[in-house]
Amino acid sequence: MKKMRTKKTSVSPVKARKKRWTKDDTELTLLSVPTLIWYFIFCYLPMFGVVIAFKNYKLSPGGHGFLYNLFHSEWAGFSNFEFFFSSNAFSMLLRNTILYNIVFIIISASVAVGGALMLSSMINQKGSKIYQTMMFLPYFMSWVVVSYFVYALLTQEKGYLNGMITALGGDPVMWYQEAKYWPFILVLLNTWKGMGYGMVMYLASITGIDPSLYEAAVMDGATKRQQMIHITLPGIKPVFVMMLILDCGKIFNSDFGLFYQVTGGIPASLYETVSTFDTYVYNAIQSSAPIGQTAAASFFQAICSCGTILLANWVVSKIDNENRII
């Protein structure tokens, strides 16, 4: 009797349906077109100017436009960067920009988190809203306006602080000539102006924490301090890490209004103390410095800012991968 050979029939797996382009995809794409155009024109197209950093840009005779002068200028390679790195101002600018921003980040984050924790613990919610509004108001003020307030306080002849000092029998202080006071003044003003924004961000994160967690903690006999340490702070951790990474991305940038407007245009007596990359570029543009060297300084600043935010995000991904932003 012959053995019947049975052919094994392989059941072919059901092929997954290919995702087709739907009407919703078309509508969303059309909605995104204006945004893409806006980004291309105002964000990506101006990046073509980076080429200036590698050229010896000069104005050619005949009244030609920017593009003609750019294409007919000689290539300088990395000579503009070499000039900037070898200048006496580079180490001073690097030191001031990084140190100021590190201090700004530490103090601003501490004040914002502490203020948010205190406001969230207030029983009177109306009072909490009033405090939030009062602390958030300086964020919307221009540094030009703030500079007039600072001038009214610190001017030598009729300043309020010098008036109080002389009334107490002391000698008036030449605030705009004494560099030793300005690191503290700049840190104080930066914290005063930006703490409202940070507090609102952290308050929004605190209100998003599940109230049942606090109720369970109270039933277990946890104190306010224990609730803050074990519930509130872990709850705002994602927002804190996100803002910290974004702040690290701005560590090579500086607030031009704070360092230039408030100091009265950076007088010579304060140059070594308050000058940063942004003020250096502005002063170089206003002077007769070659535009290629100015562009090289700006390009170096942009590359460093991009590198620091990527580095900060990489460090966060190694410590806590869930809270990285990229």
Every domain of the chain and the residues it spans: 52-86+288-326, 102-273
Stretch 269-279: mean pLDDT, rounded? 93
Q: How far is CA 15 from the centre of its chain?
A: 48
CB-based contacts of 280, cutoff 8 Å, min separation 6: 89, 93, 297
> Residue 17 has what pLDDT?
54
Residue type, 302: A
Task: Give yes or no for residue 79 having a pLDDT over 70.
Answer: yes
pLDDT, tens digit, 9 for 90 and up, residues 18-31? 568 888 888 888 99
Q: Provide the pLDDT confidence category of residue 106 given band limits of 50, 70 and 90.
A: very high
> Residue 18 has what pLDDT?
53
- Rounded CA-CA distance 136/114 in Å is 15
CB-based contacts of 215, cutoff 8 Å, min separation 6: none
DSSP string spanning 131-148? HHHHHHGGGGS-HHHHHH
Looking at CATH, the fold of the domain delimited by 102-273 is given as MetI-like fold (1.10.3720)
Please give the model's pTM, rounded to 2 decimal places.
0.83
Phi-psi region of 104 (alpha: psi -120 to 50; beta: other; left: phi over 0): alpha
Q: Strands, E, within the chain: which ranges? A: 55-56, 74-75
pLDDT, tens digit, 9 for 90 and up, residues 37-67? 998 999 888 888 888 899 888 887 877 787 8
